[in-house]
Amino acid sequence: MISSATSYRPETGEAPFGLDEVFFSRTDGRGTIQAANSVFWRVADFKWADMKGAPHNIVRHPDMPKSVFWLLWDTIKQGEIIGAYVKNRARDGLYYWVFAVVVPLDDGFLSVRIKPSSPTLKIIEEEYAALLKLEQEQDLSPADGAKHLLERIKKLGHSDYHHFSCFALTEELNHRNATLKRADDSNIATSRKMLGAAQELKKATAELVRNFEMTNVIPHNMRLLASRLEPSGGPLSTLSTNYGSMAREMSDWFEDHVVGPKSNFSTIEASVNQGMCLESLARLLSDCALQLNGERDDLSSVDFELESGLLKELVEQYNGLSAEGHRELKEEATRIKEACRKMYRFMLGLTTTQSMCRTEGARIQSDVESLNDVITQLSITQKRMDEILIQIDRQATLIHKLAA
């Protein structure tokens, strides 16, 4: 973990910061620096005596939108982890970009930072420049600026900032490994496969919802036809009514167990994303601990045992949370598979009733073509729903396997 960065510093531009380096700082609840490693001192061009006890914003760069820091502080004050791209300014005026992950502690916060190198950095540079301009030209408050940033994050394809933060962290770790010719992190690779499966599951569920809406409309059309083709209370009318009742029962069950806000289907993507974030954070903290150990001789003014022990505890904590998350994901995937089996039974009942409708319809001589059209629509919709259920079952099986 000894960096290849030299002590040479240019007069302008970017401060030397090795891609293989990790630096950290620990602050109290007000953001006052309590501890940091020598990589941070060197990159920021400070002596430890000048940095200790100083506010962390001594390295804030004027190019940074205030909204980003508002979002950061609002998140960590709620006890949540956050990752963010930050442009800092060293004491001598040089700049350096970091991807920082901030972890709440009992009495403050710990921030671990690496040099970003993925293509996402360029996107963020443009977004920050536009946001800063907006703040200045419209006198935008930090809170309103944060809302604007979240809207932009969603337009970039992320459901919320936490999703983006986790994506960016894994992107940076993977790109860092590739550039340094290190092996890919197998845990991150597995988590990304799980996330892909969860996203496919979400898409399939949305399509299943659309098809369920059809099962509510078609029986109504069938009942209208039956009312013209046979006496009131005839077999076709009864079957279409039964079909509609079964479809509503299935739809109600589907609403409660599949698309509800607390359902397995709706929460599993967030659960996978959280697990991937925890695994990536544990990896980053492990790298930081190795970096710290390599600097031991340079940290005579810092309590090495305290900081090293704290990092070790955090690594164990987040590895433990990640393992617990995997166990929960296995359970969630099992419940989804059970939900699929329940829906298969519903579908079997609908198929049987549909076949009986077709048989009864064949006995009616008038307007048979219209009736057959309606029954064919039912058949097509049910076939598509069967296919979607197979997709959902397959993705749940993959998540269960990967989580194991």
Burial class (CB in 10 A: 0-12, 13-18, 19+), 401: middle
Over the range 48-79, which residues count as b (16 or more CB within 10 Å of their CB) and which as e? beebbeeebeebeeeebbbbbbbbbeebbeee
Helix axes 142-155, 161-179, angle to 10 degrees: 60
- Which token pair is 235? 């077999």
CATH class of the structural domain 1-184: alpha beta
d(C-alpha 86, C-alpha 28), whole Å: 20
| pLDDT number for residue 4 | 44
In the chain, CATH 3.30.450.20 covers: 1-184
* CA neighbor of 392 nearest in space, from 273, 296, 283, 263: 263
| pLDDT number for residue 96 | 97
Tell me, what amino acid is at 345? R
In the sheet that 108-114 helps form, which strands lie side by side, from edge to edge? 33-36, 23-28, 108-114, 95-105, 82-89
d(C-alpha 336, C-alpha 113), whole Å: 38
d(C-alpha 98, C-alpha 86), whole Å: 5
Mind listing the pLDDT tens digit for each residue in 24-75? Answer: 999 999 999 999 998 999 999 999 889 999 999 999 999 999 999 999 999 9
The DSSP secondary structure of 344-374, one letter per residue, reads HHHHHHHHHHHHHHHHHHHT--TTHHHHHHH
The DSSP secondary structure of 24-71, one letter per residue, reads EEEEETT-BEEEE-HHHHHHHT--HHHHTTSBGGGGB-TTS-HHHHHH
CB 243 within 8 A of CB 357: yes
* CA neighbor of 51 nearest in space, from 63, 37, 72, 62: 37
38, 176, 186, 295 from 22: Cα distances, Å: 10, 11, 20, 11
Residue 352 CB partners (closer than 8 Å, separation 6+): none
| pLDDT number for residue 2 | 39
| Alpha helices (H) along 141-263 | 142-155, 161-179, 186-229, 235-257
CB 51 within 8 A of CB 35: no
**For the chain, counts of helices (H) and of strands (E):** 11, 5
- Bridge partners, residue 113, by sequence: 23, 100
DSSP one-letter code for 88: E
* CA neighbor of 82 nearest in space, from 182, 14, 176, 149: 149
d(C-alpha 121, C-alpha 144), whole Å: 23
Over the range 201-235, which residues count as b (16 or more CB within 10 Å of their CB) and which as e? bbebbebbeebbebbeebbebbbebbeebbeeeeb
CB 148 within 8 A of CB 131: yes
d(C-alpha 319, C-alpha 154), whole Å: 29
> CB neighbours (10 Å) of residue 242?
16
| pLDDT number for residue 177 | 93
* Low pLDDT (below 70) residues in the chain: 1-7, 216, 218-221, 225-226, 228-234, 236, 257-266, 360-371
